Chain A
Amino acid sequence: MAEDRAAFTPLTDQKSFERAMSLDIKDVVHDLVDMLGLSLVAVIAGVGETRAVQQWMKDREPQRPQTLRFALQVALMITESTDGSMVRAWFQGSNPQLDDLTPALMLRNQPLADVQGPIIAAAREFAAR
């Protein structure tokens, strides 16, 4: 998937889901780090240091792979070209559609099943603007 990392284009709901679910978890982490940066991936994944994220790109399994796949799915829905700053801002910002909560912290602190629906809805709304 290295050739796909140079640029990310927004994908439809279905395509983003398919890509996020079909990639090897190492590639999921790689793509997320490319778009969001090591620190934000660490926030989403629930860990306390970026070293853990770097290890997932080598030979370790993350503790919450489904959360990371979901984060990639959402990121792929809202990304615009190669500018990752907008995607990072979306994950870090207080979102009015999410009761002013921050998507990254929602993914970190709440069960995935509880936050998937609201976050996907917010991402769809943003992608459709």
Chain B
Amino acid sequence: MCVTESLFMAYSLPESAPPAFIQVSAPLAEVVEVYDDVDIATADALGEAIQRATDAATSNQSVVVDLTNCKYIDTKGLMQLTNAHRALGKHRFWVVMPLKSSHRRLFDIAGLIGLMNTAASLDDIPHG
């Protein structure tokens, strides 16, 4: 690569990166790890990421949305999670958030604790 090309690569604008919702294939689940805020601007992208994970999951796998690294989620994000819960059913859809996560209060206010499967970590999700 010549100097000009390498400089171009270093300083050219990147293509717009999608919101940081990272799909991870685990043995018993397809996981969407959320690193970006989930709000009106990104909620649809979360829905799409959940759909891709759903399409990739086998019948033996759950679909998990991991909010451990998510700093903010609003009602638009909750709608996407609720939609996934309705589509997949209680046996196949989980949301991970630490016990002291601020998201738990939002889930509680929205009446989702007890309705939707939640776990403090991936290891806490029962399988089989």
Contacts and interface: CB of A to CB of B under 8 A. Distances in A.
B14 interface: yes
A113 B22 contact: no
A112 B18 CA distance: 16
Contacts of A46: 14-15, 17-18
**Interface size class, chain A:** 20 to 34
B24 interface: yes
Nearest to B12: A111
Contacts of A43: 20, 22, 35
Contact of B24 (A39, A63, A66, A113): A39
Given A39-B33, A48-B49, A112 B22 contact: no
Contacts, number: 57
B80 interface: no
B121 interface: no
A108 interface: yes
Nearest to A42: B22
B16 to A, nearest CB: 8
Given A43-B22, A48-B49, A105 B14 contact: no
B20 A105 contact: yes
A79 B123 CA distance: 27
Contacts of A65: 9
Contact of B22 (A39, A66, A92, A94): A39
Interface string A7-27: 000000000000000000000
Contacts of B102: none
Interface of A: 38-40, 42-43, 46-51, 63-67, 92, 94, 104-105, 108-109, 111-113
Q: Give the top 8 A-B pairs by smallest Cβ distance, nearest first.
A: A46-B17, A49-B23, A66-B10, A113-B11, A43-B20, A42-B22, A39-B22, A108-B17
